[in-house]
Amino acid sequence: MVMARHWYSSSPVVDGHPLLGEPGFWPAHLADLSEGFPPEAFGSDAGDADAMLGRLQDPSAWPVFTVPLAGDFTIVVHYNSGEECTTTDYFLTHPEWGQDLVLASDDQDRIGPGLCWPELAALREAPEGATGVTDPDARLLLLLPVLGDTAAPDEAVAAVARALTAQGAPEASEPLAGRLLQGHPMWGVEDWWFDTDERSWICAGEHSPRTAPLGDHLSEQQRAALEACLTPS
């Protein structure tokens, strides 16, 4: 079962942001999505990638990353490592809300995908003055595991390839980018459509938290804030 975020307060959570610039981070973070591609495809050494994977899966230090969004929303990325396995949870949070929304989790509940390509593309740019993960390319790659969209356009491959290159991958990273856009192996890619009445993207995937409008239990004001958060101008 996905861990409720408040449970992390008694867990060995550590700031993960310094890891973003260290060798081997991207092939480690995206290991589940990049089967068939060696760390060298990311511009990393295999030894560095293995060492980073060990740090991400360390039971004594669970890295957390924050991706700031418009309207004081944040996507919080939590690694958590028990005795048997490591899982990663992605929460959409707001400081004034008492409940976090789960976008994806690769634990036994298999929750995902949680974002479609139009949303992820819109979230590349951080709000002005924000703190956390603000680099557009790092934001895109960090949130790729949440994505799963059958209609991701050709420009998505180009955008992911540019992000990979900016983070140290060799030029001509389109084959790796295409593989990453095939989705997490737990949920793959799914059909999405925008429900104009509900003002929300809807996903057809049986494991997705988006089969109903996101936050459909929230107030009208909160729903409007969610819409603005995921589709910033």
What's the confidence (pLDDT) of residue 1? Answer: 46
Low-confidence ranges of the chain (pLDDT < 70): 1-10, 83, 232-233
Range of the structural domain that residue 20 is part of? 5-230
User: What are the φ and ψ backbone dihedral angles of 211, each rounded to 5 degrees?
Assistant: -70, -20
The Cα diameter of the chain in Å comes to 51
Backbone φ, ψ for residue 91 (5° rounding): -115, 145
pLDDT digits (tens, 9 = 90+) for 102-136: 999 998 889 999 999 999 999 999 999 999 999 99
Q: Looking at the 3D structure of the chain, how many domains does it have?
A: 1
pLDDT score, position 84:
76
Q: Which two tokens stand for residue 146?
A: 């949440």
pLDDT tens profile 138-152: 999 999 999 999 999
pLDDT of the residue at 223: 87
pLDDT of residue 97: 87
> What is the DSSP code string of the chain?
-PPPGGGGGGS-EEE-GGGGGSTTHHHHHTTTT-TT--GGGGT--HHHHHHHHHHHT-TT-EEEEEEE-GGG-EEEEEEEE-SS-EEEEEEEE-TT-S-PEEEEE-STT-B---B-HHHHHHTSSPPTT--SS--HHHHHHHHGGGB-BTT--HHHHHHHHHHHHHTTPPS--HHHHHHHTT--TTT--B-EEEETTTTEEEE--TT-TTSS-TTTTS-HHHHHHHHHHHS--
